[in-house]
Structure 1
Amino acid sequence: MITMDQIKQVANQGPYTPDWQSLGKFEIPAWFKGAKFGIFIHWGLYSVPAFNNEWYSRNMYIEDHPEFAHHVETYGPHKEFGYKEFIPMFTAEKFAAKEWADLLKKAGAQYVFQVAEHHDGFQMYDSQLSDWNVVKMGPKKDILGELKTAFEEVDLHFCTSSHRAEHWFFMGHGQEFDSDIKEPMEKGDFYWPAMPEPDNQDLFSQPYPSDEYLEDWLFRTVELIDNYQPELLYFDWWIQHDAFKEHLQLLAAYYYNRGIEWGKPVGICYKHDAMMFGSGIVEIERGKFAEAQPFYWQTDTAIARNSWCYTSTLDYKETKEILHDLIEVVSKNGNLLLNVGPKGDGSIPAKDQQILEDIGAWLAVNGEGIYDSKPWRQSGEGPTEVFSGQFQEANVKSYTSEDIRFTVKGEALYAFVLEAPTDGTVVIRSLAESADQNKPEFHGILQAVEVLGYEGELSWTKDHEGLHIQCPELRSELPVVCKITMK
């Protein structure tokens, strides 16, 4: 088992060292910038009760939460049936790593993050630091290891995430009444440390994470890195707390130096300015930017509005909405990470499968404007406003046929018409003729115009109002993509 001295040795061996000055030399892996579309997977013990969302382990111990009443009614008192009693029920009898990999590849994804450890503290991988993992309990198989093998066999980049930071307080409410979460607890225990929940918006909140806990977080993450060699590592919220800063820099330098040893570029996705800007990949949860950014970024969202894991009451998004998100993000210099939640038995719900297959079918036709593309000099045009920031999904955007987003690749400009016109006419105003060479309107020469996947009659003209594309037989419930080839 690795020691702290060995961690520090690797972290300081170069070319990276554990300080923001050095970590600021980080370069985002080239493959990631070309990939554009990835899949997040939230699957764990919380998928067994499948009630409300993936925070079941916390909320079932809070007396005024619906999870509390549901738990008592369904499973009995907490002191007799605590969260740990879900472990024997988590048998994953229908889990098939190869089937998952084939489905996600068919969906057009280029990389996949399976959650390695969520806030509940149950590890979805083999660990020597805790017995509370899928190899020693529950399925008794290395879920993460099997997925890594299956993903890499179909050329999906293997990535993973740790949500361990929040475990400091995540189970703490169970100590407020007669439950199975009781002191004393020691490091390595499933519920440990179960501290009182702080103000999670306070970056200096008390009780301040202890050195013992921070070192445990560090060692678990290093074990994950060394044993599974993920190409990207994702950290969820609360890692931005002041207590983690020194350990996070140590971990980042360790990981980046390990990536160089392995001969493959790696990176850390982070939220809430947990890391210094430029030392990793900026992440936005359920949100986006209004305009294209000069830096590369990623948004993570879910296939359902109300949960990241499978539940019996999922509020699914429509395929069109997800494609709108993908197009918006890619046109603004980012990637979309879309979460799916398998059932407790390891099967992927039929609705998730259908949405993924629909996305894959659309990308099979239109993906050339997505993959390996770059933003154009303007990200789009049209009347519908997009606002910058996280958690912007409460209201679904009603796009029109005038809402168009752009990408470029090679000699082509791709114009994504977010709502297909009912009359077969597309007008791209950003390509209007301009009599004044000093104005910033488009002055290039158009060589050819086509609509990807459309085989009907097509004609186009260009004037001071824009590029007019006539496609009288065009019918689509999903966005359509115009490919404009430049001379």
Structure 2
Amino acid sequence: MNSKLFVAILGVLTFTSCNTKESKEVNTTAEKLVKHFEPTWESLQQYECPEWFRDAKFGIYTHWGVYSVPETASDWYGTHMYNKSHPNYKFHQETYGDQKEFGYKDLVPLFTAPKFNADEWADLFVESGAKFAGPAGEHADGFSMWDSEVNPWNSADMGPKRDITAELEKAIRKRGLKYVVSLHHSWLWGWFPTWDENTDCYDPANTSLYGERVPETAWRMKDAKGYYKVHPMPSAEFERVWLEKVKEVVDGYSPDLLWFDNRIQILSEDVRKQMMAYAYNEAAKKEQEFVLTFKRPDFPLGTGTVDLERNRMPKIYPDPWLTDNSISKQKWIWHKDLKCYPTNNLIDDLVDIVSKNGNLLLNVAPHPDGTIPEEQKQRLREMGKWLKLNGEAIYESRPWLIYGEGPTETKTGHLADMQFDGFGDEDIRFTTRDGQLYTIALGWPEPGVLPVKSLGSSNYNGTVKSIELIGHEGKIEFNQTIEALEITLPDTKPCEHAFVFKIN
């Protein structure tokens, strides 16, 4: 790369990422005075992702609710328990009885959460280094984890008889973190087999939880391109209740980040636009820096922040984005045989995502009683320990000219991370903050020398004056050749996971 071009590009990036707080505040204030969202895609594309999200990088949410009670290796127990071809069907009959006599509704009284403590959860989230956190407000099962007026099936009136969403909001905000609520309730259309007379879902007395009677075709049909095709489409009443639930969360708990699962494309454009406009306008009234995330193609690009489920961008994406992944490779909810990712994988994934202008939202799977199991606590504390040492390369950072180098190619596509085994010793990622370049090695090469090819003089026209290894006291030797910047590693590692070098 031409040296003048390199300096010019770096200058633009530095100016963009290090713009003064004063100018941001002036611009933000001006926007608040004039910005109003109409329920049109054109108006909704006024959305701008706030700086707090760009800076935060790491958040936590939880999959925990009535579906946790059976403690099975099934994230979708509510629908699988009625499916004769799924192992949950037999499990349910052997454990609870026939689905016509003991249905999903009958699990609700068993979800009492006797050991749930919002302050303990929030303390752990802080210890992990997360900057935003919160619950799954309503999963696909139609059970709201807040005190709902529109939905009688809620945690304040049934089960725990506590407003879980309110308790977590208070505890999380008290500790200075941003508050997240995730909503998955578009899945409720056809989730329960209201067409099957051999289940309690067929009984009209249970409509308030299971939904109106629909044919099986209302459930989960996709075309060749992966778009959800259901018949009939959601009714006006379903859409009304869907929208009212969103409004209850926005009005009652003012989340800083409202996260939506996919399948919203089955809803009419009108209700989707109404929801977005309402959420944005309410946040503007409260002078709140608000984030709304969605999965493509549920909303047009530019109307919110893109989220990828168990997936990531292959390279630097120009807008901030989000990956939601779980602490377990296979599952979102707790079960007796849950296997967690090694901490090293979680940290490497965070570094990779941040290097590409993304944030990680990591799912935690609490026990049905409301406690977070020790194995998961250990992972979060180890992530926090690493971030406490190396956080300057993560928080408030921005991408460099390239995201990194190395032989490992991350897979792309929905749920692709479930087939990804992790990074190796030759994989390196870059971030910048306040004009400082950070080189993050995802491994510790055995020969004792880390070659950074992107900083060899054939690729990089700058002169490296010195190198610091965060956590190491002492000089770091290096040699900048045509092929690579060769960094001599010290005898001892400064930490257990990814290793951060400051290139001066």
TM-score higher than 0.5 here?
yes
Indicate the structure with greater helix content: 2
Over 3 Å counting, the alpha-carbon distance change for 1:194 and 1:165 in structure 2 is farther
Q: Which amino acid aligns with 1:79?
A: K
Does the 8 A contact of 1:456 with 1:474 survive in 2? no
Secondary structure of 1:348's counterpart equals: coil
Q: Which residue does 1:275 correspond to in 2?
A: 299
Partners of 1:331 and 1:418 lie apart in 2 by: 12
Q: 2:126 is matched with which residue?
A: 105
Q: How does 1:228-239 map to 2 (within 5 A)?
A: 228-239=253-264
1:6 aligns to what? none
Does residue 158 (structure 1) correspond to residue 183 (structure 2)? The answer is no
Offset of residue 388 of structure 1? 2.9
- 1:336-390 per-position Cα deviation (integer Å, ceiling 9, x unaligned): 1100011111000111101001111111111110000000001111111223322
Corresponding letter in the other structure for 1:141: R
- Partners of 2:468 and 2:475 within 8 A in 1: no
Per the alignment, in what secondary structure is the counterpart of residue 216 of structure 1? helix
Q: Which of 199, 202, 227 in structure 1 is aligned with 2:221? A: 199
Residue 35 of structure 1 corresponds to which residue in structure 2? 56
Q: How big is the shift at 1:140? A: 0.9
Q: Secondary structure at the match of 1:388?
A: coil
Matched, 1:448 2:491: no
Alignment check: 8 A CA contact 1:198 1:207 kept: no
- Aligned residue identity for 2:221: D
- Counterpart of 2:11 in structure 1 is none
Residue 355 of structure 2 corresponds to: 331
- What amino acid does structure 1 have at the position aligned with 2:77? Y
From 438, 446, 466, give the equivalent of 1:414: 438
* Residue correspondence of structure 1 range 134-283 to structure 2 within 5 A: 134-172=155-193, 175-184=195-204, 189-193=208-212, 195=214, 196=216, 197-200=219-222, 201-241=226-266, 243-283=267-307
SS in 2 for 1:376: coil
SS of corresponding position for 1:237: coil
Quick check: 1:484 aligned with 2:482? Answer: no
State, as a whole percentage, how many aligned pairs show the same letter.
38
Deviations 1:368-414 (A, max 9, x none): 10000000001111111223322112333453332111001113111
For 1:285 and 1:46, how far apart are their aligned partners in 2?
A: 20
Alpha-carbon offset, residue 293 of structure 1: 1.0
Is the contact between residue 310 and residue 342 of structure 1 (CA under 8 Å) also seen in structure 2?
Answer: yes
> What RMSD over aligned residues (CA atoms) do the two structures have, in Å?
1.7
Contact 1:240 1:272 in 2 (8 A): no
Unaligned runs of 5+ in 1: 1-12, 435-440
Distance in 2 (CA, whole Å) between partners of 1:465 and 1:422 is 20
Tell me, what secondary structure is at the counterpart of 2:408? Answer: coil
From the superposition, tell whether residues 335 and 194 of structure 1 become closer, same or farther in structure 2 (CA, over 3 Å). Answer: farther
Residue type of the alignment partner of 1:181: C
SS in 2 for 1:101: helix
CA contact (8 A) 1:185 1:193 kept: no
Runs of 5+ in structure 2 lacking a partner? Answer: 1-33
CA distance in 1, matches of 2:420, 2:450: 23
- Sort the Cα spacing of 1:400 and 1:254 in 2 relative to 1 into closer, same or farther, 3 A: same
1:5 alignment counterpart: none
Verify the 8 A CA contact 1:53 1:310 in the aligned structure 2: no
Tell me which residue corresponds to 1:115.
Answer: 136
CA contact (8 A) 1:456 1:473 kept: no
Q: CA offset at residue 313 of structure 1?
A: 2.2
Say which SS state the counterpart of residue 329 (structure 1) adopts: helix
Pick the aligned partner of 1:21 from 39, 42, 53.
42
Deviations, residues 31-73 of structure 1 (Å, cap 9, x unaligned) = 0010000112111001111211221001000011010011111
